[in-house]
Amino acid sequence: MTAAHALQFQVPGEGQVALEPQHGIIAGWTGRNAEAIERHIAELAAIGVPRPSAVPLYYRVAADLFTQAPQLQTVGPDTSGEVEPLLFDTGRALYLGLGSDHTDRALETRSVALSKQICGKPVANQAWRYDEIADHVERITLYAFVRDHGAAGWTLYQNGTIAAIRPLADLIAAAPVAAGAGRLMAGALMLCGTFPVVSGGVRPAAEFRMEMRDPVLNRTLAHTYATTALPIVA
């Protein structure tokens, strides 16, 4: 398989690290707390999404969906983002980054897999070496904020620590792109699960901002993207 594009990540101590995407995975329903999983299932059930057949699930998506562009085009207005930790492997090292599992909510009521495949997956252009944060990874906190057209400020949409997600080492080991020894296949990217919405339910927004904060090494990853809805032509 030949990658359609390369992603560039700024990594502390390494400078620019390039990744040619070869395999795309969305790990879903990965919450460690059964009540939190049920809340997220209920949120999605409220907009018509069927319950998952099992938890967790690994959805395969095209590797070239992952993008660092500040603008995302979608078909129709019924899409929204989800902040998630991103794992990727260059073949030389494993890294932790930040991404959004942007999803078509209308299509999700008919096929979760297709709803994920139809939307680009925005990712930040910074990342951290996994071996630098492995000993405190569960203390890392993720945030998502949304802003609608004409709004002056951002509204908190999601937040949670990686401790709320199944251990990343377990997700790696069970992934269809696992390479053994705690690594993924070279060129693999995996979004690792999200958090319940703070208030207002799952909903579209004109802009989506996500952040990942490491309280031990005192550093932050961030990415903001806007969504443009293309018309649905019958």
- Domains of the chain listed by start with CATH number: 7-230 (3.90.850.10)
Contact criterion met (CB below 8 Å) for 219 and 122: no
Per-residue pLDDT tens digits of the chain, which is 234 residues long? 444 589 999 999 999 999 999 999 999 999 888 887 888 788 888 888 888 888 889 999 999 999 999 999 999 999 999 999 999 999 999 999 999 999 999 999 999 999 999 999 999 999 999 999 999 999 999 999 999 988 889 999 999 999 999 999 999 999 999 999 999 999 999 999 999 999 899 999 999 999 999 999 999 999 999 999 999 998
88: closest CA among 187, 201, 169, 226? 187
Structure tokens at 74: 């979608």
Separation between Cα atoms, residue 117 and residue 130, nearest integer Å: 27
Beta-strand pair 66-67/121-122: parallel
Structure tokens at 104: 């078509």
